[in-house]
Amino acid sequence: MNRIFEKNVFLFDLDGTLINSMENFSKAVLSVLEENNISYPDGIVTKLAALGYQKIAEYYHENYGLKNIEKMRDTMSERAYAEYRDNIELKSGVFDFLNMCKNLNISLNVLTASPYRMIEANFKRNKIINARN
**pLDDT at position 8, please?**
84
Strand partners, 19: 15, 90
Assess whether pLDDT exceeds 80 at residue 5. no
Q: What is the pLDDT of residues 18-59, one digit of tens each?
A: 999 989 989 999 999 999 999 999 999 988 988 889 999 999
Which residue in 128, 121, 131 sits closest to 21, CA to CA? Answer: 121
From 5-9, 52-56, 57-61, 114-118, the region with the lowest mean pLDDT: 5-9
pLDDT band at 3 (very low <50, low <70, confident <90, very high): low
pLDDT band at 4 (very low <50, low <70, confident <90, very high): low
The model's pTM: 0.82
pLDDT band at 128 (very low <50, low <70, confident <90, very high): confident
Average pLDDT over residues 3-31: 85
From 30-34, 67-71, 110-114, the region with the lowest mean pLDDT: 110-114
The phi and psi torsions of 35 (rounded to 5 degrees) equal -65, -20
For residues 8 and 99, what is the distance between their CA atoms, to the nearest angstrom? 14
Q: What is the b/e burial string over 61-71, where b = at least 16 CB atoms within 10 angstroms of the residue's CB?
A: eeeeebeebee
Looking only at the bridges linking them, the beta strands covering 9-13 and 107-111 are parallel
The phi and psi torsions of 107 (rounded to 5 degrees) equal -75, 120
pLDDT band at 102 (very low <50, low <70, confident <90, very high): confident
Assess whether pLDDT exceeds 60 at residue 110. yes
